[in-house]
Amino acid sequence: MDSMIMKGMQFYGYHGVFPEENRLGQKFIVDLDLKLDLEKAAATDDLDATINYAELYEQIKSVVQGEPCKLIEALAGGIATRVLEAYTMINEVAVRVTKPNPPFEIHFDGVTIELRRKRDGNGRVVRA
């Protein structure tokens, strides 16, 4: 299976457990690793044979800038679900969501959650 990787997408959202996070918001960084067949796109140079990553970016943006979640696990799950529902040619997705500035006194580059989801033999979304 081929891969399409989108790294370092930055969005502003209002996710978090603490009221200040929901009120003030913060930056979130999203990475995607998509598994799909890109053979036809590589052979034909046809956008219709692949995923338009500008459109995919807008899908992800609408999730991150949409309804707030308490946990970045839920945010990552929402992104995975949206991607697989919107693009049936994607067989599997790994979503990484990083919260670079959690609101507590600790010094690190942030916390990242990674979820993997795929389609089963019946087309249902399951854990990878």
Residue listed under structure tokens 């140079």: 45
The CATH number of whichever domain residue 112 belongs to comes to 3.30.1130.10
Tokens encoding 63: 């999730």
Q: Residue 117: its pLDDT value, please? A: 95
Phi and psi at residue 82, to the nearest 5°:
-60, -45
Indicate the pTM of the whole model.
0.92
Q: ∠113-118-119 over CA atoms, to 5°?
A: 155
- Condensed to tens digits (0 to 9), the pLDDT of residues 25-60 reads 999 999 999 999 999 999 999 999 999 999 999 999
Active site residue 99: yes
Q: Which domain holds residue 116?
A: 2-127
Where do the H-state alpha helices sit in the chain?
Answer: 19-24, 39-44, 53-64, 72-86
How many domains does the chain divide into? 1
* Residue 125 confidence (pLDDT): 85
Helix (H, G, I), strand (E, B) or coil at 66: coil
pLDDT reading at 107 higher than 80: no
**How far is it, in rounded angstroms, from Cα 100 to Cα 58?**
21
Q: Which residue out of 7, 61, 99, 118 is catalytically annotated?
A: 99
